[in-house]
Chains A and B, each alone.
Chain A
Amino acid sequence: MQKKLLARWALYLLVILILLVLAALLSLAVGEITIRLSDIPAVFRAKEGMEYVILTKLRIPRIVLAIAIGGSLSLAGTLLQGIYRNPLVEPYTMGISGGGAFGVAICIVLGLHLRWGSYLLPVFGFLGALATIFMVYTLGTRKSRGLSINRMLLIGVMISFIASSGMLFLMALSSTESLHSIIFWTMGSLNEPNTGLIGLVLVISILGLLVSYGYVTPLNALRLGETKAQHLGINTSYTIKVLFVVASVITGVSVAVAGVIGFVGLVIPHLMRRIVGTDYRILLISSFFGGAVFMMLSDLLARTLIAPNELPIGVITGIVGGVMFIVALSSMYSKTES
Chain B
Amino acid sequence: MDFLHFNAASYGYGKSFHLHEVSFTLSRGRFSGIIGPNGSGKTTLLKGISGELLVGRNQIYLDGCDMSRMTGRERARKIACVTQFAESIDVTVEEYVLMGRIPYRRKMQVFETSEDFEIAEKYMKLTDVYSLRHKKFSKLSGGEQQLVSIAKALTQEPDLLLLDEPTSHLDIMHQVQMLNLIQELVQKLNLTVLMIIHDLNLASEYCDYLVLMSEGRVFDCGTPMEILNYKNIEEVYKTVVITETNPLSKKPAIFLVSGKVLNSRNV
Q: Which residues of A contact B (CB under 8 A)?
A: 1-2, 6, 144-145, 213-214, 216-217, 220-221, 223-225, 227-228, 230-235, 277-279, 281
Whether B102 pairs with A228 at a CB distance below 8 angstroms is no
Q: Total contacts A to B, CB within 8 angstroms?
A: 71
A221-B72 CB under 8 A given contacts A2-B114, A227-B83: no
Which single member of B86, B89, B102, B112 contacts A232 (CB below 8 Å)?
Answer: B102
- Cβ contacts under 8 Å, B75 to chain A: 233
* Contact (Cβ within 8 A) B83 A223: no
Nearest neighbor of A5 in chain B, beta-carbon distance: B95
Instruction: Please tell me if the beta carbons of A231 and B114 are within 8 angstroms of each other in the complex.
Output: no
Instruction: Judge whether B91 and A230 touch: CB under 8 Å.
Output: no
Any chain A CB within 8 A of the CB of B73?
yes
B156: which A residues are within 8 A, CB to CB?
A: 232
Chain A contacts of B94 at CB under 8 A? 1
Interface 9-mer from B103-111, B170-178, B192-200, B232-240: B103-111
**Nearest Cβ on chain A to B87's Cβ, whole angstroms:** 5
Nearest B residue (CB) for A238: B72
Residue of B nearest to A221 (CB): B102
Contact A233 B102 (CB under 8 A): yes
Contact of B50 with A231 in the complex, beta carbons under 8 Å: yes
- Contacts A231-B80, A233-B72, A278-B90 hold; do A217 and B102 have CB atoms under 8 A apart? yes
Whether B181 is near chain A, meaning CB under 8 Å from some CB there, is no
Which residues of A have CB within 8 Å of B100? 232
CB-CB under 8 A from B117, the residues of chain A are 1-2
Task: Give chain A nearest CB distance to B100 CB in angstroms.
Answer: 7
Q: How far is the CA of A233 from the CA of B78 in the complex (A)?
A: 10
Residues of B contacting A235 in the complex (Cβ-Cβ under 8 angstroms): 72
List B contacts of A213 (CB < 8 A).
110
Given A223-B91, A225-B87, A277-B91, is A230 in contact with B52 using a C-beta cutoff of 8 Å?
A: yes
- Shortest A148–chain B CB gap in Å is 13
Which residues of chain B from 126 to 163 have any CB-CB distance to chain A below 8 Å in the complex? 156
